[in-house]
């Protein structure tokens, strides 16, 4: 009986503590971070002093895909994404709101995207750090202090493999290249048939 009463009291405390206000907002109300190598877009945020959770209300996900792909498309590149939760980025913007965003990489191909990921993991040029980047920095310092710099390479491989880096769906550049190649191959086949 005491255990059941303890569980009920604990449940009351937990529900009493979770009185955050949830506010539905448009995507453009949370700052999107743009860089030549990436785009960070957030779908939620939290303002500690008002205990308010901001959730983006998405009516049409295709518009979001277009926004993400257009950033890289303007640079003549494809869009790549990561899929592990440790790749999420917490960043602050206006009025003390902390947003939780996802980074989308701009690269010509997967190899270039891999190199970008590793370069930003090893030596981040800005303050928009993922949990993986923060963990890598912490672990690297520990390995250096222990004189085990050989473990840093295995740490890079671990974070990279776990990231799930892959081509982002709905990517217009890649589709256009595939269509152009298919059209070119079809024309080559036609011209070969005409010669025969």
Establish if 181 belongs to a structural domain: no
pTM of the complete model: 0.74
Establish if 185 belongs to a structural domain: no
| Structural domain that includes position 123 | 19-171
Establish if 24 belongs to a structural domain: yes
Establish if 177 belongs to a structural domain: no
Q: Do 157 and 132 touch, CB atoms closer than 8 A?
A: no
Establish if 164 belongs to a structural domain: yes
Give the pLDDT of residue 173: 52
Q: Which residue has the higher pLDDT, 83 or 190?
A: 83
Question: How far is Cα 99 from Cα 31, in angstroms, rounded to an integer?
Answer: 8
Q: How many domains does the chain have?
A: 1
Establish if 60 belongs to a structural domain: yes
For 104-158, the pLDDT digits (tens) are: 999 999 999 999 999 999 999 999 999 999 999 999 999 999 999 999 999 999 9
Establish if 176 belongs to a structural domain: no
Q: Do 29 and 45 touch, CB atoms closer than 8 A?
A: no
Give the pLDDT of residue 1: 39
Establish if 193 belongs to a structural domain: no
């Amino acid at each position: 009986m005491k255990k059941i009463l303890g569980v009920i009291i604990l449940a009351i405390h937990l529900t009493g503590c979770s009185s955050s206000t949830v506010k539905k907002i448009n995507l453009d109300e949370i700052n999107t971070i743009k860089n030549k190598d990436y785009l960070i877009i957030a779908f939620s945020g939290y303002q500690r002093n008002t205990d308010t959770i901001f959730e983006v209300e998405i009516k049409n996900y295709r518009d979001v895909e277009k926004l993400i792909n257009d950033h890289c498309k303007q640079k003549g590149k494809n869009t790549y994404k990561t899929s592990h939760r440790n790749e999420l980025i917490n960043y602050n913007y206006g009025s003390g709101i902390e947003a939780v965003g996802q980074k989308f990489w701009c690269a010509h191909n997967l190899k270039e995207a891999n190199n970008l990921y590793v370069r930003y993991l090893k030596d981040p040029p800005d303050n928009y750090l993922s949990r993986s980047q923060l963990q890598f920095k912490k672990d690297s310092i520990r390995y250096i202090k222990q004189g085990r710099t050989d473990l840093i390479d295995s740490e890079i491989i671990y974070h990279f493999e776990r990231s799930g880096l892959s081509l982002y769906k709905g990517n217009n550049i890649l589709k256009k290249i595939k269509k152009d190649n298919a059209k070119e191959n079809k024309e080559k086949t036609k011209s070969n048939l005409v010669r025969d």
